[in-house]
Amino acid sequence: MNKFDPSIPRQMFWAKSAGDRSYCPECHSKLENESHEFIMAVREASDIHSLIVGNDAGYFCPKCPTVVLDIGPFRESAAISFGRDATIQFTVLGIVDLEAVPEEKRFMPLGEEGNPIPLVKFIKKRGTDTNPQRKAKAKAKAKKKRRRGRKP
Ligand SMILES: [Zn+2]
């Protein structure tokens, strides 16, 4: 049994450094590490695949619905499934609530007809982009535009 209930929708932050995994960015409580299953969306060229990964990259806040994720294990999972192509982008959509799968369906593969993946999506906070790769790309684009606008 998990201490942190996967059925609670949480807001997600990426840990930008090891220090970010210690305290909650919202309420400054001490975060606790726990292993969970997550769903990633991975974009490979124009295709988007979903990928279920179980890892201990989540650092949960005991006081508020916040989770801080270590990007490393997710990057690694995307690389194992789709290769180390620099064009591959991914994000983590939420946590899989395995407890929500009815007992009689637990033998079935998740995501198959009649056994939908019990995804508990992360709460989107206004003004925060949960995908650092997309953010970097947008920044690069903005730079390009500025350069183009300048007169030679
Ligand atoms: Zn908190």
End-to-end CA distance of the chain: 64
Residue 97 lies in a domain: yes
5: in domain: no
Considering the domain boundaries, does residue 6 fall inside one?
Answer: no
pTM: predicted TM-score of the whole model, two decimal places: 0.78
Output the tens digit of pLDDT for each of the chain's 152 residues.
689 999 999 999 999 877 789 999 999 999 999 999 999 999 988 899 999 999 999 999 999 999 999 999 999 999 999 888 878 899 999 999 988 999 999 888 888 888 899 999 999 875 545 455 555 555 555 555 555 555 55
Q: How far is the CA of 4 from the centre of ligand 1 (A)?
A: 13
Ligand 1 is an ion; residues with CB less than 5 A from it: 24, 26-27, 29, 61, 63-64, 66
pLDDT for 137 equals 54
Instruction: List the domain range (segments joined by +) for residue 136.
Output: 11-149
Domain count, the chain: 1
CA of 33 to the centre of ligand 1 (A): 13
CA of 98 to the centre of ligand 1 (A): 24
- 135 part of a folded domain: yes
User: Closest Cα partner for 64 from 13, 102, 16?
Assistant: 13
Question: What does the buried/exposed string (b/e) look like for 88-111 if buried means 16 or more CB atoms within 10 Å of the residue's CB?
Answer: bbbbbbbbbbbeebeeeeeeeebe
pLDDT of residue 141: 56
Specify the pLDDT at position 95.
97
- Rounded to the nearest angstrom, the distance between the alpha carbon of 25 and the centre of ligand 1 is 7
Residue 35 in any domain: the answer is yes
Compute the distance from residue 61 Cα to the ligand 1 centre, in Å.
Answer: 5
